[in-house]
Structure 1
Amino acid sequence: MPIDSAMTSKQPPARLPLLERRVEDCFAHLSSALSPLGGAAGEISVGTFIGQVLGLAERLPEAGFAINLCDNRYLFTLGFCAALVRGQTNLLPQNRAPATQALLREQYPASYVLHDGLENLLDSCPQFNLNETDLRADACRDIPHICADQLAAIAFTSGSTGQPKANLKPWHTFVTSSRMNAQAMLGDDYREQLRFALATVPAQHMWGLETSLLLPLFSRLCISDARPLFPLDVAQALQPLPAPRLLISTPVHLRALVHSGVAMPPVKQILCATAPLSQDLAQAAESCFAGELIEVYGCSEVGSMARRRSAQTDLWQLFDGLELAQDLSVIRGSHLPQEQPLQDRIETADGRHFRLLGRSDDMIEIAGKRGSLVEMNKLLLATPGVVDGVVFMPEAGQQTVTRPVALVVGTDITKQQLSARFAAHLDPVFMPRPLLMVDALPREENGKLPRAKLLAFYHELRNK
């Protein structure tokens, strides 16, 4: 199916719909009773959702920015859309810490915190608690429209330095990218086939925002408000959802689910992103869930941009509406404010399919020999007994040679066994030194591991 002409127009229309759904359709599945909705649980229709959005929009504070810290996925979506209708910009921080709230309040003084019962709130910042608001409303058939150029959200990422980086998202960018994503991720029938989805990722981060909030707005996807963590909870959250089911997750979480031994309900499709996924894990996930796994490649600046069936191929297919330019160094799209540089090196034969060659800083040189941190991490994560782990280069110190470091979360595996595994596959100069066993890595909610946070964690371990 070709991309709609509205998706490729250089001049977006003046106003765009909040969603493109049938009002009688199922929009969300509430896993438990929500008190702001009068104890409602089960399915929420699109029309009911619209009515609740319009009712909430009228009651939101007068402000320019809403710091959306809602934990429940449905309430987050409700607040996000109500802020849009009110003409406000959603601020999406990388965490809910008071220090982060204070920083945002300082940078955006015309802001307030939108939450659903968060306890560690900044006293000096205006607050609006959805859990203390009656959100019940009659169904509405009239779909609101949003100014195409309205700044819908500012998504903050940690970045390599740990300093929040602001990514500005106008509404027309979200609308166009969501249509593109729906077609690329779900297929040509994304407007016809009703699917029921469960996401294990938070809605505040770009991968969760694109899939668990924006996809339900622009495709026939009914999203569960549950965000289970443990394997048994994931299985129990999937079970009541009608087929065809969709699971949205990350490689870190999929690894835990696959190796848990818990029997999983079958799903039609798994969408996975935020870190490289090995072919072995992709094949194991497809077997575990009896469904097709689609891995998605993207970045916060652009969003999702390419897909592959990782169990079968290492070739990525670029989404329609995007193109590579300037010797494969930038990504271009008519809906993007500007060309965006690619952080990864790639190779392509036809401009639409490509292989990732890793980032420039993934290649290291020790004693005149070159090695790849990507390959070292693949080796580590493919080791039986390894639950999670990372191989990285620390900051250069006073030692003559800086060597890779390995931090490993494992079960039934020893440091000696890990060292033997590395020794069997790596040149001695690339052997991780030190190799430390840890209880957990300091990953963010979306599964990513920012370098600044990793280095601080390593420094803390070394000083114990």
Structure 2
Amino acid sequence: MTFVPLIRLPWRNAHEDRRSLPRHWVDSTSLTHRIDAWRLWLADKPRGYWLLYQSRPAEFCAALAALWESGRVAVLPADNRPETLARLAETVDGTLPEAPDVTATRQHDTAAFAIPEALDPTATAVVLYTSGSTGNPVRLAKRFNQLDTELAAHTRLWPLAGSGVISQVSHQHIYGLLTGVLHPLCAGAPFYGDPCRYPEGLIERLKEAGEAHLAPVIVSSPAQLSRLPNHLGWHDSPRPRRVFSSGARLALAHAQHTEALLKAPVIEIYGSTESGGIAQRRQTQDTVWQALPGVELSFSKGRLALRSPFLEAPQQWWYQPDRVAPRHGGFELLGRADRLAKIAGKRVSLDQIECLLAETEEVREARCVDLERADGRLGVVVVADEAFIPHQRETRHALIKRLRSRLSSHLEGVATPRYWRFVDALPSNAQGKLDHELVQRLFADLDDHKAPRWLGEYRADVTSCCISLEVPERLIFLEGHFDDYPVVPGVVMVQWAIELASTSFGELGEFKGIERLKFKQVLRPGARFTLQLTRRAEGIAFTIDSQEGRHCTGQVRLQTHGGKHG
């Protein structure tokens, strides 16, 4: 199997080892008709920059190839929230729809457009956006020669001959784009053409790869690997050739757990949207990061600098905002060098606060964040084992008091975090990161006194969602309900269920009523609870539970546009 660079249009190269693929798996041959459909749709459209967001890897790949063949640049938003797309739409020449108009492309008259022999290696291929972990996302352009050089390095390190790629991460981000879509495309390896976010889907994809005599390669993230359940039949599935992880720090325990379950090496890739890939490691064998082929490293005063063919200016030194320690021809990561916040005129290290908290028995991991609030105080997201997660107001206050006491001998009082969130796993976006948007959501109740405190959610599949929440003590609905024994009104619980269902599942349709509504016991301020949502044809079913038991259950009847209600 030969590597074909992007500038040589690998999607137009038919492979001799063409095989029968399972449903929803694709390769360059099966993509051709979709690329042609997109080319025809684009034939009379303006050139320039085009906004491309597609949740399906196969359709994304076809649309991307069509843009490139027609001399256009793909602009890849990190998400498809209406406000994101509306903001970016003002900066581009057009926005691709979900699918090309079939009436205009049904005859697939390829004579309507020309297929170039090659693409200009110095032309801009894509515009991406950083994850926004420390602020607003930054716009970054990548040329074809940058992408091709990095893809060639991937091929040298991790060849895909005889493999089938299953991606669990978003291809709208550089890691998922390169590893989950472009590498298999250039290597002629099949890849799964639909999203594969959940463990149950992953195990089905592994079996499909095995039936097609493909060695599975999994492209994943710490968020997914940290939640692989033991009870699924991993031992009955084909053993993956390798598992990739990137986007955030992967805990050693999670790497070990993944390797034990899947019987495959877990390879981490370290880098960023700005720098491209920098280094890789298999931390179950060695914690030291080794540079990717062609990447030159330099260490000065504990900071990492690099020259790389993946950079926009390959001959210039790029200074990565990470502290490192040189080790055995590579390096160890020590944390971000720029994670300083100015509190009451004093510089405070967010890394220091996280390290101090991680030394305590109760804290597995901590993420300190500058919320940029008027009071100037910090927030912190604490990952704790279930035994230490507080479920009532009293235990939460007691835990915060103990943790603040731990920090008091190292920090001035004003530098100690004021706002605390306790979770069993760090919430993450499609790139596996706790980004700016998720931080805002974790602390949204500070300004919205009608909302519950959101602490994360888990989706088993597209129709089911379990959300972890708390009742804020400053919830406005507690006023007058009742003075000596405040409780959350039942109507508020129902309203929360409807609002959060809309956030999780998108537009729900017209409200038609509530059925089978039962209130079992009261929900008190400071209580931690779960909201289980299930999407059904006739509406939404919901339950609210806590350690005290069940509080509320019901079904919301809805009518979708153009449909019938239950």
Pick the TM interval, shorter chain.
0.7 to 0.9
Deviation at 1:90, TM superposition (A): 0.4
With structure 1 as the length reference, what TM-score do the two structures score? 0.76
Compute the displacement of 1:302 (Å): 2.1
Per the TM alignment, residue 450 of structure 1 is displaced from its structure 2 partner at its CA by: 2.0
Shift of 1:47: 3.3
Give the alignment of 1:9-158 within 5 angstroms. 16-19=7-10, 23-25=15-17, 31-32=23-24, 43-50=25-32, 52-54=34-36, 56-60=38-42, 61-108=45-92, 110-116=93-99, 128=100, 134=106, 144-158=117-131
Partner of 2:432, secondary structure, is coil
**Does the CA-based 8 Å contact 1:54-1:85 persist in structure 2?**
no
CA distance in 1, matches of 2:137, 2:19: 32
Larger radius of gyration: 2
Shift of residue 408, structure 1, vs aligned partner: 4.8
Distance 1:88 1:414, change over 3 A: same
- Matched residues in 1 for 2:270 and 2:170: separation? 18
> Are 1:240 and 2:222 an aligned pair?
no
Separation (CA, whole Å) in 2 of partners of 1:377 and 1:427: 8
State which drifts further: 434-443 or 448-457. 434-443
1:11 maps to none
Structure 1 counterpart SS, 2:208: coil
Structure 1 residue 372 displacement after superposition: 3.0
2:166 to 184, 195, 198: 198
Change in Cα spacing, 1:432 to 1:112, as seen in structure 2 (3 Å) is closer
Partner of 1:342: 320
**Runs of 5+ unmatched residues, structure 2:** 411-415, 450-566
* CA spacing shift, 1:396–1:82, aligned 2, 3 Å: closer
Question: Are the counterparts in 2 of residues 87 and 150 from structure 1 also a CA contact under 8 Å?
Answer: no
Deviation of the 1:232 alpha carbon: 1.7
Aligned partners of 1:194 and 1:220 also within 8 Å: no
Out of 391, 405, 412, the residue aligned to residue 367 of structure 2 is: 391
Give runs of aligned pairs for residues 339-378 of structure 1, distance below 5 A: 339=316, 340-349=318-327, 352-362=329-339, 372=352, 375=355
- 1:125 maps to which residue? none
Q: Please tell me the residue identity of whatever aligns with 1:285.
A: T
For the residues of structure 2 that align with 1:428 and 1:78, how far apart are their CA atoms?
56
User: Equivalent residue of 2:16, what SS?
Assistant: coil
> Between the two proteins, what is the percent identity of the paired residues?
20
For residues 285 and 386 of structure 2, what CA distance do their matches in structure 1 show? 29
Counterpart of 2:175 (choices 188, 197, 207) is 207
Aligned-partner SS, 2:90 = helix
Q: 1:55 to 1:423 in 2, by over 3 A?
A: closer
Supply the distance in 2 between the matched residues of 1:379 and 1:268 (Cα, whole angstroms): 36
Supply the RMSD in Å over aligned alpha carbons: 4.1
Q: Are the structure 2 counterparts of residues 349 and 459 from structure 1 closer, same or farther at C-alpha, using a change threshold of 3 Å?
A: same
The one-letter code sitting in structure 2 at the alignment partner of 1:255 is S
Partner of residue 414 from structure 1, selected from 389, 396, 402: 389
1:253 CA drift (Å): 1.0
For residue 268 of structure 2, what is the aligned residue in structure 1?
295
Judging changes above 3 Å, is the alpha-carbon distance between structure 1 residues 45 and 254 closer, same or farther for their aligned structure 2 residues?
A: closer
Aligned partner of 2:175: which letter? W
TM-aligned CA distance change 1:147 to 1:393, over 3 Å: closer
Structure 1 segments unaligned to the other structure (5+ residues): 8-14, 33-42, 117-127
SS in 1 for 2:325: strand
Structure 1 position 318 matched with structure 2 position 308: no
Count of aligned residue pairs for this structure pair: 416
Gap change, CA 1:87 and 1:429, over 3 Å in 2: farther
- Equivalent residue number for residue 10 of structure 1: none
Deviation at 1:65, TM superposition (A): 2.0
Q: Please tell me whether the aligned partners of residues 363 and 372 of structure 1 are also in contact (alpha carbons under 8 angstroms).
A: no
Contact 2:28 2:188 in 1 (8 A): no
Instruction: Decide whether the 8 Å contact of 1:28 with 1:224 is kept in 2.
Output: no
The one-letter amino acid paired with 1:360 is: A
Q: Is the 8 A contact 1:307 1:317 kept in 2?
A: yes
Distance 1:114 1:170, change over 3 A: farther
Change beyond 3 A, Cα 1:440–1:135? farther
Matched with 1:263 is 233
How far has the Cα of 1:402 moved from its partner?
Answer: 4.8
**CA contact under 8 A between 2:288 and 2:327: conserved in structure 1?**
no
CA deviation vs aligned residue, 1:103-128 (integer Å, no higher than 9, x gap): 222122x2222424xxxxxxxxxxx4
Q: CA deviation at 1:18?
A: 2.1
Alignment partners' CA distance in 2, 1:56 and 1:161 = 36
CA deviation string 1:329-377 (max 9, x = no partner): 4321235322433121222256x51111211244789999976355468
Q: Over residues 306-350 of structure 1, what are the superposed CA-to-partner deviations in whole Å (9 max), with x where a residue is unaligned? A: 100011221001011111248354321235322433121222256
Aligned position for 1:123: none
Which residue is equivalent to 1:12? Answer: none
- Higher RCO structure (Cα 8 Å, ≥6 apart): 1
- Equivalent residue for 1:168, pick from 117, 121, 141: 141
- Residues 47 and 412 of structure 1: CA distance in aligned 2, closer, same or farther (over 3 Å): same
Distance 2:271 2:38 in 1: 33
Shift of 1:234: 1.9
Scaled by the length of structure 2, what TM-score is found?
Answer: 0.63
Tell me the distance in 2 between the aligned counterparts of 1:211 and 1:396: 35
Contact preservation (8 Å) 1:410, 1:437 = no
